[in-house]
Amino acid sequence: MTSIPPKSRPLFGPPRAWRQDDFVASDDRVRGGSSQSFLTPSATLTTARFHGVLDTTTLGGAGFASQRTVTSKMTWNLSDYSGIELDLAHGDGKKYTLNIKTVLPDKMDNGRDASTVEYAFSFVAPNEPCRIFAKWEDFKPFYRGKPVEDAKPLDTSSILRWSLMMRSFFEQQQGPFSVTIRSIKARLAASDVASVDEEKESEDSDWDDCDVDEKVADSATTSTSQSNNSRSMRFCAIL
């Protein structure tokens, strides 16, 4: 019998608590820029705020600020799913990018990571609650911010790194930025869930050191919050 995967698989955010130590800054300062980013979990650890300042003057119009996953020992196999859902609590109307790497970069002599191909999905974060679903084919290959025409298809069975990025898009945006994220999940598309009888969120952790007490304990508070936000929640269109 073929097993049917849950409709969604939490990657970051509830039921697992957001943790600042799971991410590290990877800003344009490694190339002499002045941008800076932070990932700040809420007091309840149920949301995380990606924020900072994007500077485009130091590097002559270019610039980026990002937070990436720290682990180099984790492989996410998401081949059973159709894409990624971002559940946003609040944004600022600016354009953000979710990046995926299937090959970890080598270290150069100067200690910096070498550039590698990454698969990017860009979206606008409105100043209201919003859910965005990106199919795997919406993640496009880029190398140092430029499209790659002959890249291999995204291997969703071997994802090694995730990052959230704010970049200038060639001087289209700059300055302070902020988006608050409830969760990032792998999800089946609506067309793929006909055979799934009931919603069942996966409780399996992707992290070896995730203890039960790190989970979000106050489910009543979370349920109330989700209920209060459901009236204003909307699904956002892909760019």
Spatial separation of the C-alpha atoms in residues 104 and 91, rounded to whole Å: 30
Distance between CA 89 and CA 201 in Å, rounded? 20
Task: Round to whole Å and give the CA distance between 18 and 157.
Answer: 24
Residues forming beta bridges with residue 59, ordered by sequence position: 62
Q: Is 189 exposed, middle or buried (0-12, 13-18, 19+ CB in 10 A)?
A: middle
Q: Which of 15-24, 87-96, 172-181, 193-202 has the lowest mean pLDDT?
A: 193-202
pTM: 0.79
DSSP-derived letter for residue 226 is H
Mean pLDDT across 149-160: 95
Overall fold of domain 9-190: Jelly Rolls (2.60.120)
Residue 235 has pLDDT above 70, yes or no: no
State pLDDT tens for residues 71-121: 878 999 999 999 999 999 999 999 999 999 999 887 766 667 777 899 999
The residue with tokens 């902020």 is 178
**Quick one: which H or E segment has residue 162?**
strand 161-167
Helices (H), the chain: 219-230
Nearest alpha-carbon partner for 179 in 90, 96, 53: 90
Neighbours of 20 (CB within 10 A): 13
